[in-house]
Amino acid sequence: MKVPHRLYLTEDQMPTQWYNLRADMKEQPDPMINPATMKPAAVEDLYPVFCTELAKQEMDATTRYIDIPAGILEMYKIYRPSPLIRAYNLEKALGTPAKIYYKFEGNNTSGSHKLNSAIAQAYYAKQQGLTSLTTETGAGQWGTALSEACAYYDIPLTVFMVKCSYNQKPHRRTVMNTFGATVIASPSDTTNAGRAILAEDPANSGSLGCAISEAVEKAVSTEGCRYVLGSVLNQVLLHQSVIGLEAKKAMELLDEYPDVVIGCAGGGSNLGGLIAPFMQDKLTGKAAPRVVAVEPASCPSLTRGKYAYDFCDTGKITPLAKMYTLGCGFKPSPDHAGGLRYHGMSPILSKLYHDGYMEAVSVRQTDVFKAATMFAKYETILPAPESAHAILGAINEALECKKTGEAKTILFGLTGTGYFDMVAYGSYIDGTMSTYVPTDADLQKGFAGLPTIPGIQ
């Protein structure tokens, strides 16, 4: 069979259910901890923060498949199914016997996979009758996606955007404003959490943990408002499983199956979504693909973090999660890893990594942009910096195949486009881009703040 450059499923072939990876895990991630009681959180503990239905999805570890509501499927059809692409030109340039496929999630205005969960979360908020939502955003992809979804469902939205990204990407702000969202640089003086952080460090360039604190505070202090999150959470990985389900279906139509599945890793949303059905095969013994997470060396939660309970935010007001973490007080460098600069990793992915079901590597910023520019030249898509981490991982795997002569099948996730990242590309091209890698002493500062939980940690 001659594999086409791009394969689109039909609308009738789109998944009508999300896949809940936890239903097939041999051991479950440890439960979230309520910070008020330091006891395992109950679903009711999440109701003041999350939409009721999303809180239930967050705690559901047994329902294998969850129906996607018709209202969500209708909006999905605006931009889905997304294509599975064979990277013929990249393969030729690398001189590799490997076959490289990528699932491209950038065919929507947000330019990323984030819309898959944004639509779901806004839909459930509308169904519940909520009058507003809050969130955080790092690189701006999640904030843009949620702005789109909230505009569609007519829900007011406030976005706390990490300050360094707010300054680096003014056009991202403009897109969010176009869809009607209010965007605030975080840390800000609009919340108690933001004011406390600024009092300690007036020049703080922000972090996802900080922005989460501000967004959660506004949600719980505003009537009819809830907080929504674009990564890390179990519910987000559930919604993002549509990526992997589509990818697996498309590969089946081509009589293909990946030997290696590669995704960039920050909080875990795209990686968890892409690998979900392939990890199911691995957990159930049907197949044994290698699964590789690629993270920035500047924020190496999997490769250098500790597997421990930690707060999901800098202000320490969210539930605690057992995850690979650099400590909620870790201050990431203001580099162009963007949405991959979160201090922790999805509890689901952390557990799978801890139990040996997946691998992780960290890569330097300049190497990432070298891979990004090569990919752009040969595949004609300008990738987001986050996506380029997965591209580099795929290139390294393909070059290893060139050495060994193995014709492996590689699948990676191209999470989105980099058209709002021109400052980053410019700094790489003009040679001013640097690569920061935290020292052990730098990381120890974050580890020192890990919480003490009687009888647990």
* pLDDT value at residue 218: 95
- Structure confidence by residue, pLDDT tens digits, 256-296: 999 999 999 999 999 999 999 999 999 999 999 999 999 99
Check residue 337 and give its pLDDT. Answer: 58
- Using DSSP's 3-state secondary structure scheme, residue 215 falls into helix
* Higher local confidence (pLDDT), 167 or 17: 17
pLDDT, one tens digit per residue, over 172-213 is 999 999 999 999 999 999 999 999 999 999 999 888 889 999
Q: What is the pLDDT of residue 20?
A: 98
Q: Which helix (H) or strand (E) holds 247?
A: helix 234-253
Q: Where in the chain is the domain with CATH 3.40.50.1100?
A: 6-18+70-109+234-449, 131-223
Which residue, 104, 103, 164, 108, is CA-closest to 139?
164
pLDDT given for residue 302 in this prediction: 98
Identify the pLDDT of residue 338: 60
Q: What is the DSSP string of 363-428?
A: E-HHHHHHHHHHHHHHH---B-HHHHHHHHHHHHHHHHHHHHT---EEEEEE-BB-TT-HHHHHHH
Res 316: pLDDT: 86
The answer to whether 294 and 264 have CB atoms below 8 angstroms apart is yes
Q: What is the pLDDT of the chain when averaged over all its residues?
A: 95
pLDDT, average across residues 156-163:
96
Query: Is the distance from CB of 383 to CB of 424 less than 8 angstroms?
Result: no
pLDDT surpasses 70 at 323: yes
Greater model confidence, 390 or 2: 390
- Is domain 131-223 given the CATH code 3.30.1330.10 in the classification? no
CATH architecture of 6-18+70-109+234-449: 3-Layer(aba) Sandwich (3.40)
- Over residues 335-367, the pLDDT tens digits come to 655 668 789 999 999 999 999 999 999 999 999
Per-residue model confidence as pLDDT tens digits over 356-401: 999 999 999 999 999 999 999 999 999 999 999 999 999 999 999 9
Which contiguous run of DSSP H or E holds residue 198? helix 192-200
Q: How far apart are CA 186 and CA 277, in angstroms?
A: 36
pLDDT band at 409 (very low <50, low <70, confident <90, very high): very high
Average the pLDDT over 315-342 and give the result. Answer: 83
> In this structure, which amino acid lies at residue 227?
Y
- Tell me, what's the pLDDT at 128? 98
| pLDDT on residue 335 | 63
pLDDT confidence tier of residue 17, bands split at 50, 70 and 90: very high
Contact by Cβ (8 Å): 225, 130: yes
Kindly report the backbone phi and psi dihedral angles of residue 231, in degrees, each rounded to the nearest multiple of 5, phi listed first: -155, -175
Q: Which comes out higher in pLDDT, residue 239 or 170? A: 239
In this structure, are strands 157-162 and 182-186 parallel, antiparallel, or unpaired?
Answer: parallel
